[in-house]
Structure 1
Amino acid sequence: MRNLPVESVKILCTNLTESDMVFGGMDKLKQSIQDAYDRYNPQAIFVSTSCATAIIGDDIDSITSEYEEKFGIPVIPLHCEGFKSKHWSTGFDSTQHGILRKIVNKNPKRQEDLVNVINLWGSDVFTPMLAQLDLRVNYVVDMATVGELAQLSEAACTVGFCYTLSSYLAAGLEQHFGVPEIKAPQPYGFAGTDAWIREIGRVTHREELAEKYIAKEHARVKPLIEELKKKLKGLKGFVATGSAYSHGLIAVLRELGVATDGSLVFHHDPVYDSGDPRQDSLLHLIENYGDVQSFSVSNRQQYQFYALLQRVHPDFILIRHNGLAPLASRLGIPAAPLGDEHIAIGYEGIVSLGETILEVVSHKKFHQDLAAHAKLPYKKWWLDKEDPYILAKNPELIAI
């Protein structure tokens, strides 16, 4: 996706047993750190906790400090056990905290044409976009080298495809190293992308290049989008992803003329780390593209997803975490699993998402045939309920 060499993932597991849960797993951790160093000769080693190791209280901080001194490279403890925060997204923050403490260059030399892009593993859409402003891209965290992580503090500014993912690291770079975080709506749809490009242009002193790029892209993609609107006319979509990402996708769907009356977001961040209202992605969506009639925040349980889909009867769903997609298929609804999270970014992203939807709905007959021969694993009592959260509101019903 970014023309990088294909490599095996370098991950080791301490493989704890019941005995280790009783007597501790520190010896296995020490051996695993030594094995990682011997096998891969790494420039850094990250040690991540799990719920199990946090419960038994293994002292990973002292072990990582011991081996950091022994090897002469950063050995970084990441405390990301889920039960402490009760939400998976704080794992991003824990990882980024470790990078800020142990990897980032503490005496940076500013590279005025370098932009940090905090993302996952999406395709390289930011390089051609930012090249129009004579800027280079530093992709982090996934697939980044230690050197690329180290130069985070040297960049002219920091952006991300989703504020849930990027806000902790971006805020830390601004507060401690003076690297400004771009405080603008996310680059989805014309309104968001225009504001995002203009803010990058302002921060990097490239306002004229930004305006030229915006005008050129509007002229290029608008005729393509009008053709897509004709083909997509009458379709209804449903978005099931993380919060800020969902807000961006809904904006793009509405640019394409696709009715989007329902969305399931997996969490809600009322305030991001910067505290800047320009990063309020939900407010941006409502002010520029209108409200979402059936908008739910939930931890993606399939039995609840059924009632949410029944509320709006979409023609397709956009989804990131594919565990919900099989239920939609059983209802005759095709899903677009967005493995490439950058598919809807920027001006070209509006076109790309429209073409993806056309491809997905072209297979609708398959899902309808599947629905005709599939049986849902729920009793009629539940299927007749209109409120997907009725059990949470009335827990006494569970005993029925």
Structure 2
Amino acid sequence: MSYFELKEPPRREDRLNACIAHGAALGDVAGRGMRCCQPGNERSFTQNSICLLLPALGTMNSIPNSVVLMHGGLGCGSSSHCGNAAVRGGNNQRWGVVKDGRWLSTGLTESDVISGGESKLAQAIIEADRRYRPAVIFIVASCVPGIIGDDVESVVEQTQPEVVAKLLPVHCEGFKTKIWATSYDAIYHSIGRNLLTDHKQPAVNKEKNGITVNLMNVSSMGRVDELELERLLNQLGISVNIFPVFADPDGMQRMTEADLSISTCPTHDDYMFTYLKEKYQVPFIIRHMPIGIDNTGKWLLDVADFFGLTEQALALIAREEAELNAALEPLKPIFTGKKAFSSAGEFRALSTAILLAELGFEVVGIRAYHHDEFAEVEYEKLIRLIGKDLPLNIANCQPFEEANLLRKLKPDIFLGHMNANSTAAKLGISTHVIYNSGLHYIGYQGAYELARRLYRQLKNPRFNLNLSQYAALPYQEAWYQQNPFKYIKLAEGDNE
């Protein structure tokens, strides 16, 4: 049975045996499947995490002509206020229009928790449709309706005939999973079940000319990264559909008519790709993330091999790498001997670590937010490039473990998410954001631009060094002397 026959997607803990707690050397993970990191693993002490709602909102708020209707407490979705900067910037980059995302809330109260919020949700749907006339309304189920048993799917089914907008229920009950990447599945689940469900792919499309691929983007990609990948594919004669971030909902049907779907982040894309193949026979490639020199070449070759364009791709890769290596030559001397630490979602952290090694850094540690089967190929690459003894931390935040690691490893540069760099900064370590939707990271252009930014930071690292003299982390010295993975429990129940 297809997962899309269910009302909501399964947790990634169940579907992929994904896990969030592990600490060991890189060699203990690579090539061993999930045996090194059992899904039942947790911590006897946990400091913090985030809800899967946060990454989900990054995608939903970007969709043009849409409304995101949060069904829950008023605070759920409030992160959209700060996330709106990316929405405004993304709209401006693509269409030259500064436009806000639109999100609403049913604002459930204590009385609603007791008596139920279904009637309030139905009224909110009708009002959102009347007021904004959007193409789609995302109906986002947060923790409260999941706890009190509101049947969001039934409300949507009963209300759909009364509104013009297409209603897309998205299940983001944060208490159900600790794997944030489940949020991507939740969005794709609703798009597949509710937006694409009536579309019938023609048996033969006689009017179609050339090759078209689905290029799946993520909310952490800026338009500059999309253009880089589009530039490379266009040189092979391949046209590109870019989905789902900032994609017009009326045009999403084109996903079902492509010749191939290409992943830019395997963590993000597998759920939708499987659906497109099951229902519309669209094949897919989900192996490499095009961050770094070697990874970008492998990514291009996979696509080219599928269409019989290998020779053209090899010539393109040779030209691009020659130009890039020449541009990097003046920058590399400052990277030699410098230690680097990479921290992000699993694939981004691993592919960025590979790029750092290609630039000449000594990669001394990696932290990934979760672990699943799709990253096995990246671990094998890192083993060949760096070695088996590199410390690896699988952690959904947990800055206390990160602070301990950083004190021990003493990197010169830390690459992490913008909201996670403060730990390293307060230790006097130079930091760089691992993604910013206005900057280049992906492809050959991304490799050069990242190197250029790191060069400037390492030329003048004084800011964080000065900051460390006046800012302190809240951990006692005794903690820094302990094993950073002390509180991670093994599958048998013992601590590391």
When normalised by structure 2's length, the TM-score is 0.73
Where does residue 378 of structure 2 map in the other structure?
281
Cα distance change, pair 292–103 in 1 and its aligned pair in 2 (3 A)? farther
The one-letter amino acid of 1:328's match is: A
Distance 2:374 2:298 in 1: 20
Higher helix share: 1
Where does residue 157 of structure 1 map in the other structure?
260
Where does residue 346 of structure 1 map in the other structure?
443
Correspondence 1:201 to 2:304: yes
Distance 1:159 1:319 in 2: 25
- Secondary structure at the aligned position of 1:47 is classed as strand
Q: Among 224, 227, 246, which residue is 2:349 paired with?
A: 246
- Secondary structure at the aligned position of 1:3 is classed as helix
Correspondence 1:45 to 2:143: no
Q: Among 239, 243, 251, which residue is 1:140 paired with?
A: 243
Correspondence 1:377 to 2:474: yes
Distance 1:215 1:149 in 2: 34
Cα distance change, pair 196–375 in 1 and its aligned pair in 2 (3 A)? closer
Distance 2:276 2:330 in 1: 42
**What displacement does 1:303 show?**
1.6
- Secondary structure at the aligned position of 1:174 is classed as helix
Distance 1:292 1:355 in 2: 29
Where does residue 329 of structure 2 map in the other structure?
226
**What displacement does 1:11 show?**
1.4
Distance 1:379 1:319 in 2: 23
**What displacement does 1:239 show?**
0.5
Where does residue 29 of structure 1 map in the other structure?
121
* Residue identity (%): 29
Distance 1:68 1:360 in 2: 53
Question: Please, which moves more after superposition, 365-374 or 117-126?
Answer: 117-126
Correspondence 1:308 to 2:401: no
CA contact (8 A) 1:185 1:284 kept: no
Distance 2:103 2:114 in 1: 25
Distance 1:9 1:311 in 2: 42
- Name stretches of at least 5 consecutive residues in structure 2 with no aligned partner: 1-89
The one-letter amino acid of 2:104's match is: L
Where does residue 195 of structure 2 map in the other structure?
103
**What displacement does 1:363 show?**
4.4
CA contact (8 A) 1:325 1:335 kept: yes
Distance 2:127 2:413 in 1: 47
After superposition, what is the alpha-carbon deviation per residue over 1:75-105, rounded to whole angstroms, capped at 9, x for unaligned? Answer: 1211121222332110100111111112226
Correspondence 1:388 to 2:484: yes
After superposition, what is the alpha-carbon deviation per residue over 1:4-53, rounded to whole angstroms, capped at 9, x for unaligned? Answer: 23211021111111221221111221122112211221222211111122
After superposition, what is the alpha-carbon deviation per residue over 1:257-307, rounded to whole angstroms, capped at 9, x for unaligned? Answer: 1111201111001248xxxxxx73322333455446111101212222111
Cα distance change, pair 161–340 in 1 and its aligned pair in 2 (3 A)? farther
The one-letter amino acid of 1:331's match is: L
After superposition, what is the alpha-carbon deviation per residue over 1:202-226, rounded to whole angstroms, capped at 9, x for unaligned? Answer: 2234334322311211221111223
Cα distance change, pair 304–66 in 1 and its aligned pair in 2 (3 A)? same
- Name stretches of at least 5 consecutive residues in structure 1 with no aligned partner: 273-278
The one-letter amino acid of 1:202's match is: D
- Secondary structure at the aligned position of 2:331 is classed as helix
- Secondary structure at the aligned position of 2:392 is classed as strand
Correspondence 1:360 to 2:457: yes
- Secondary structure at the aligned position of 1:264 is classed as strand
**What's the RMSD between the two structures over aligned residues?**
2.4
Correspondence 1:323 to 2:416: no
Where does residue 147 of structure 2 map in the other structure?
55
Where does residue 86 of structure 2 map in the other structure?
none
Cα distance change, pair 22–217 in 1 and its aligned pair in 2 (3 A)? same
Question: Please, which moves more after superposition, 224-233 or 286-295?
Answer: 286-295
Cα distance change, pair 55–250 in 1 and its aligned pair in 2 (3 A)? same
Correspondence 1:178 to 2:281: yes
**What displacement does 1:58 show?**
0.6
Where does residue 229 of structure 2 map in the other structure?
126
After superposition, what is the alpha-carbon deviation per residue over 1:140-176, rounded to whole angstroms, capped at 9, x for unaligned? Answer: 2221111232211111211232111111112221222
CA contact (8 A) 2:266 2:374 kept: no
- Secondary structure at the aligned position of 1:12 is classed as strand
Cα distance change, pair 214–271 in 1 and its aligned pair in 2 (3 A)? closer
Cα distance change, pair 232–148 in 1 and its aligned pair in 2 (3 A)? farther
**What displacement does 1:106 show?**
2.8
Cα distance change, pair 48–329 in 1 and its aligned pair in 2 (3 A)? same
Cα distance change, pair 214–396 in 1 and its aligned pair in 2 (3 A)? closer
**What displacement does 1:129 show?**
1.8
Where does residue 212 of structure 1 map in the other structure?
315
The one-letter amino acid of 2:94's match is: N
Q: How many positions carry a matched residue from both structures?
A: 389
Distance 1:118 1:57 in 2: 34
Cα distance change, pair 187–63 in 1 and its aligned pair in 2 (3 A)? same
**What displacement does 1:118 show?**
1.6
Higher relative contact order (CA 8 A, sep 6+): 2
After superposition, what is the alpha-carbon deviation per residue over 1:357-394, rounded to whole angstroms, capped at 9, x for unaligned? Answer: 12333442011111112222222332332x12323459
Distance 1:285 1:147 in 2: 41
- Secondary structure at the aligned position of 2:396 is classed as coil
Q: Among 168, 193, 197, which residue is 1:76 paired with?
A: 168
Where does residue 67 of structure 2 map in the other structure?
none
CA contact (8 A) 2:344 2:434 kept: no
CA contact (8 A) 2:181 2:267 kept: yes
Where does residue 182 of structure 2 map in the other structure?
90
